[in-house]
């Protein structure tokens, strides 16, 4: 039995792997909230430690500031016609039926405040124009429902105007952060990055230890000196993988090492920045920029020729922001930013792995590929990971067309939701993915994202789908003849 | 001058004044809003996959979105059909209306003559479908508010009075054209004293007044949507990403 409140979750099974939109269940998830942030974390990341006294005025002013700085927000505040095309596309609505989880209704929470303070129609006739005050009640709705959005952007694919609820959620979270309202999970993770260099809070010594441990392990298994270099000044490649790859998803870490070993590339990780994931993306612009800068700084400190982003979904979203956020990357070899899947796929095309792959090593698996939301919808990574998976295994099967590629469903825990107190939301949000995997009967879900790799095993267990979850380079690593 | 003639003159003056105010609000309001979109920067690349890789590709994508509503087609076929027919019919109706504002009348407006009334009916039917959908589908009903019904009702009344004039209670076209051309050349003359025409005209002026300050702005805003109008050119060698979209 589950150890959490299951009432928010709609249990109806899928038909042919596709979920029917549930009936509207008002306030089904109104009580599912992330824990509020702790002063020690918010202080470390330059945010107010408690709600500021004039929070209403400052929140409204912050909204005005963002409207001047973000075209997407400004346009998306005005042009929605509430047609409802997005309503049944969000995994959180499909899994819970709570109407505030329809992307349009979620966005309306911010629009109501925007209209009230920044449009003539809303200022003069608030009732007739769906405008509302930024008051205690509204702030509570914001805190609940903007932290039930994983910023996955699936709604944007179906919106006739491309309205991207992620931009709206990001703006609302930025406003809340500026007045001292944020969640424990997200702020804690960002604070850990500044203190230790990664989201998990692994100190440099432990990072080195673990790399040595992996080296010894592989030496025993293969008899080969496959290296996991740390802070290797003058290496060609800095790999910025999610720190979870070094501790939880070690098979993925081994995959990187085997690939670089076979290619004969001198690579390294950095103890200053051993994290690709950027939780600033889920909080505010200042931290997004600051966290991302660490990657470029680490690469310069180590004098590498190029940075390769590892298997982390939102790291790649922030990664493609790098030239915009942190200035030109001219000091590195192009193309930049560069993703591990793009790199490996290019090496495959060049024949660097010819004769070195034994696909039958993965024959116990019926593999399917889960597109993580950010690489698929923001980072244009649709073909490369599939090329790698196809090259590494014999039995590959795609899930239904409405659940993959740019129409992929989020795992249900992106956007700063990978925390246990919102487990009902996570399991509900993961339902469409679980149903699609179940439908095709895959027993291995390959995905290049650390959040997906942490969330999907729990989702599979909860929805009773017997499938393992792992990395794309993990599959290739398994199949490499060393 | 009789009392009724004096009242009529007064009414004409008020009507003409209102029409000019509405037109001014429409133009200035639209320019104000669109310039706001134009000058606001986009702080990061936001384009949604599958993205074009050049400005020309992005322009093609936006044009496709504007002309065919492909995202809506992916999302909901019935809604796509209703909305697309609604918008195309509206476009044809506006084109046909050029004959009231231009002299000589453009060939395209003349060519529409045989189907004009049918287009009007189709527009009305599509509008009714969209209205029915908002009431009949629980999710759409939940999402719909006063502004959503108001826009449909306003357009529906405009269409209804228009069709009625065309089909049933004819208005004298020469008077209409004299009135509109008078307005356009800033030498206004008295409007035709046809009640349906007057209602039609006032409602259109109301629509123009309402347009820049409402969700109807989606007609202009769609060109500025960063998820659609940005090219994905982040990994081009040496190219610094300039996040301004259009």
pLDDT of residue B236: 64
Asked whether residue B55 is assigned to any structural domain, the reply reads yes
Query: DSSP letter at B32?
Result: H
Residues of B in contact with A70 (CB under 8 A): 40-43
pLDDT tens digit string along B20-69? 999 999 999 999 999 999 999 998 889 998 889 889 999 999 999 999 99
pLDDT of residue B245: 34
Residues of A in contact with B240 (CB under 8 A): 323, 328
The stretch B101-109 carries a mean pLDDT of 88
Report whether pLDDT(B241) > 70. no
Per the CB < 8 A criterion, the answer to whether A439 and A277 are in contact is: no
Asked whether residue B1 is assigned to any structural domain, the reply reads no
Residues of A in contact with B217 (CB under 8 A): 78-79
Determine the residue of chain B that is closest to A119 in CA distance: B213
Among candidates A24, A158, A406 on the partner chain, residue whose Cβ is nearest the Cβ of B138: A24
Going by pLDDT thresholds of 50, 70 and 90, the confidence category of residue B1 is: low
Asked whether residue B241 is assigned to any structural domain, the reply reads no
Residues of A in contact with B64 (CB under 8 A): none
Interface A–B counts its CB contacts (< 8 A) at 186
Determine, for residues B37 and A88 on separate chains, whether the beta-carbon distance falls below 8 Å. Answer: no
d(CA B131, CA B32): 30
Determine, for residues B48 and A164 on separate chains, whether the beta-carbon distance falls below 8 Å. Answer: yes
Among candidates A68, A72, A78 on the partner chain, residue whose Cβ is nearest the Cβ of B46: A72
d(CA A177, CA B162): 52
pLDDT tens digit string along B61-96? 999 999 999 999 999 999 999 999 999 999 999 999
Residues of B in contact with A379 (CB under 8 A): 49
Residues of A in contact with B48 (CB under 8 A): 153, 156-157, 162, 164, 377-378, 406
pLDDT of residue B240: 45
Determine, for residues B225 and A79 on separate chains, whether the beta-carbon distance falls below 8 Å. Answer: yes
Going by pLDDT thresholds of 50, 70 and 90, the confidence category of residue B167 is: confident
Residues of B in contact with A405 (CB under 8 A): 49
pLDDT of residue A335: 83
pLDDT of residue B242: 44
Residues of A in contact with B222 (CB under 8 A): 79, 160-161
Asked whether residue B68 is assigned to any structural domain, the reply reads yes
Determine, for residues A81 and B148 on separate chains, whether the beta-carbon distance falls below 8 Å. Answer: yes
What is the least distance, in Å, from the CA of B179 to any CA of chain A?
Answer: 31
d(CA B97, CA B74): 33
Interface of B with A in 67-96 (CB under 8 A): 69, 71-72, 74-76, 79, 83
pLDDT of residue A2: 65
Does any CB of chain A come closer than 8 Å to the CB of residue B221?
A: yes
Per the CB < 8 A criterion, the answer to whether A179 and A52 are in contact is: yes
Asked whether residue B53 is assigned to any structural domain, the reply reads yes
d(CA B206, CA B198): 12
Interface of B with A in 182-211 (CB under 8 A): none
Of A204, A205, A203, A224, the residue nearest A215 (C-alpha)? A224
Contacts (Cβ under 8 Å, ≥6 apart) of B113 = B96
Asked whether residue B50 is assigned to any structural domain, the reply reads yes
d(CA A375, CA A382): 8
Say if residue B128 is exposed, middle or buried (CB neighbours under 10 Å; 0-12, 13-18, 19+): middle
Determine, for residues A321 and B44 on separate chains, whether the beta-carbon distance falls below 8 Å. Answer: yes
Asked whether residue B18 is assigned to any structural domain, the reply reads no
Report whether pLDDT(B246) > 80. no
Number of domains in chain B: 1
What is the least distance, in Å, from the CA of A111 to any CA of chain B?
Answer: 11
Per the CB < 8 A criterion, the answer to whether A392 and A357 are in contact is: yes
Does any CB of chain A come closer than 8 Å to the CB of residue B158?
A: no
d(CA A193, CA B150): 51
Asked whether residue B61 is assigned to any structural domain, the reply reads yes
Does any CB of chain A come closer than 8 Å to the CB of residue B53?
A: no
Among candidates B33, B50, B222 on the partner chain, residue whose Cβ is nearest the Cβ of A161: B222
Determine, for residues A71 and B237 on separate chains, whether the beta-carbon distance falls below 8 Å. Answer: no
Domain of residue B53 covers 43-75
Does any CB of chain A come closer than 8 Å to the CB of residue B42?
A: yes
pLDDT tens digit string along A13-72? 888 888 999 999 999 999 999 999 999 999 999 999 999 999 999 999 999 999 999 999
C-alpha R_g of chain B: 22
Phi, psi dihedrals of residue B13, rounded to the nearest 5°: -65, -45
d(CA B149, CA B128): 11
What is the least distance, in Å, from the CA of A3 to any CA of chain B?
Answer: 31
Report whether pLDDT(B99) > 60. yes
Sign of torsion over alpha carbons A229, A233, A235, A240: positive
- Would you give per-residue pLDDT tens digits along chain A (482 residues)? 468 888 899 998 888 888 999 999 999 999 999 999 999 999 999 999 999 999 999 999 999 999 999 999 999 999 999 999 999 999 999 999 999 999 999 999 999 999 999 999 899 999 888 999 999 999 999 999 999 999 999 999 999 999 999 999 999 999 999 999 999 999 999 999 999 999 998 999 999 999 999 999 999 999 999 999 999 999 999 999 999 998 889 999 999 999 999 999 999 999 999 998 899 999 999 999 999 999 999 999 999 999 999 999 999 999 998 888 888 888 888 788 899 999 999 999 989 998 899 999 999 999 999 999 999 999 889 999 999 999 999 999 999 999 999 999 999 999 999 999 999 999 999 999 999 999 999 999 999 999 999 999 999 999 999 999 999 999 999 999 88
Mean pLDDT of all residues in chain B?
90
Determine, for residues B49 and A88 on separate chains, whether the beta-carbon distance falls below 8 Å. Answer: no
What is the least distance, in Å, from the CA of B122 to any CA of chain A?
Answer: 20
Determine the residue of chain B that is closest to A124 in CA distance: B213
pLDDT of residue A379: 87
Domains and CATH numbers, chain A: 39-187 (1.10.1060), 202-350 (no CATH), 359-479 (3.40.50)
Residues of A in contact with B237 (CB under 8 A): 334-335
Distances (CA, A) of A169 to A164, A454, B165: 9, 23, 48
d(CA B171, CA A236): 80
């Amino acid at each position: 039995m589950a150890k959490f409140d299951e009432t928010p979750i709609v249990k109806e099974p899928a038909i042919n792997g596709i979920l029917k939109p549930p009936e509207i269940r008002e306030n089904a998830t109104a009580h599912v909230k992330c824990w509020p942030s702790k002063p020690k974390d918010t202080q470390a990341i330059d945010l107010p430690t408690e709600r500021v006294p004039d929070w209403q005025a400052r929140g409204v002013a912050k909204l005005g500031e963002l409207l001047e700085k973000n075209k997407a927000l400004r346009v998306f505040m005005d042009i929605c016609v509430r047609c409802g095309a997005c309503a049944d596309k969000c995994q959180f609505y499909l899994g819970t039926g709570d109407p505030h989880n329809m992307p349009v209704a979620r966005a309306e929470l911010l629009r109501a405040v925007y209209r009230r303070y920044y449009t003539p129609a809303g200022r003069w006739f608030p009732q007739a124009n769906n405008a509302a005050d930024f008051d205690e009640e509204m702030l509570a709705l914001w805190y609940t429902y903007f932290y039930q959005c994983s910023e996955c952007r699936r709604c944007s694919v179906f919106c006739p105007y491309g309205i991207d609820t992620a931009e709206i959620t990001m703006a609302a979270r930025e406003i809340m952060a500026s007045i001292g309202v944020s969640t424990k999970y997200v702020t804690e993770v960002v604070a850990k990055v500044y203190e230790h260099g990664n989201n998990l809070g692994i100190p440099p010594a432990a990072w080195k230890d673990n790399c040595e441990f992996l080296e010894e392990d592989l030496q025993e298994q293969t008899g080969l000196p496959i290296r996991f270099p740390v802070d290797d000044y003058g290496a060609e490649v800095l790999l910025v993988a999610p720190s979870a790859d070094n501790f939880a998803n070690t098979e993925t870490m081994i995959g990187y090492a085997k690939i670089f070993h076979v290619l004969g590339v001198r690579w390294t990780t950095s103890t200053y920045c051993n994290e690709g994931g950027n939780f600033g993306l889920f909080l505010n612009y200042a931290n997004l920029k600051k966290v991302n800068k660490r990657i470029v700084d680490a690469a310069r400190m180590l004098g590498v020729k190029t940075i390769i982003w590892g298997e982390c979904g939102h790291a790649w979203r922030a990664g493609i922001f790098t030239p915009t956020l942190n200035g030109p990357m001219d000091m590195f070899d192009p193309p930049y930013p560069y993703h591990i899947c793009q790199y490996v796929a290019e090496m495959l095309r060049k024949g660097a792995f010819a004769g070195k792959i034994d696909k039958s090593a993965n024959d116990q698996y019926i593999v399917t590929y889960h597109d993580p939301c950010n690489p698929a919808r923001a980072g244009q990574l649709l073909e490369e990971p599939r090329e790698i998976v196809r090259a590494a295994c014999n039995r590959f099967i795609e899930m239904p067309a409405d659940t993959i590629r740019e129409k992929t469903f989020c795992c249900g825990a992106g956007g700063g939701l990978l925390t246990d107190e919102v487990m009902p939301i996570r399991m509900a949000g993961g339902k469409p993915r679980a149903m699609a995997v179940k439908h095709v009967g895959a027993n291995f879900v390959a995905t290049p994202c650390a959040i997906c790799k942490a969330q999907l095993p729990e989702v599979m267990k909860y929805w009773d789908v017997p499938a393992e979850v792992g990395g794309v380079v993990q599959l290739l690593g398994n199949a490499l003849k060393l | 001058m009789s009392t009724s003639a004096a009242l009529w003159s007064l009414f004409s003056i008020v009507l003409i004044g209102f029409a000019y105010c509405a037109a001014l609000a429409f133009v200035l309001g639209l320019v104000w809003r669109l310039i706001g979109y134009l000058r606001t920067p986009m702080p990061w690349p936001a384009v949604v996959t599958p993205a074009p890789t050049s400005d020309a590709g992005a322009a093609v994508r936006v044009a496709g979105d504007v002309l065919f509503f492909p995202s809506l087609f992916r999302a909901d076929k019935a809604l796509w059909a209703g909305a697309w027919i609604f918008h195309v019919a509206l476009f044809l109706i506006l084109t046909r209306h050029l004959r009231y504002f231009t002299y000589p009348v453009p060939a395209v407006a003349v060519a529409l003559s045989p189907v004009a009334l049918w287009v009007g009916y189709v527009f009305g039917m599509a509008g009714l479908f969209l209205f029915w959908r908002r009431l009949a589908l629980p999710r759409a009903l939940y999402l719909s508010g006063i502004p959503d019904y108001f826009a449909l009702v306003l357009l529906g009344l405009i269409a209804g009075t228009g069709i009625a004039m065309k089909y049933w209670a004819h208005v004298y076209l020469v008077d209409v054209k004299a009135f509109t051309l008078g307005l356009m050349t800033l030498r206004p003359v008295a409007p035709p004293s046809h009640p349906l025409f007057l209602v039609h005209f006032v409602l259109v002026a109301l629509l123009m007044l309402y347009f820049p300050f409402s969700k109807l702005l989606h007609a202009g805003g769609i060109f500025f949507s960063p998820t659609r109008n940005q090219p994905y050119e982040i990994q081009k060698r040496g190219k610094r990403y300039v996040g301004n979209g259009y």
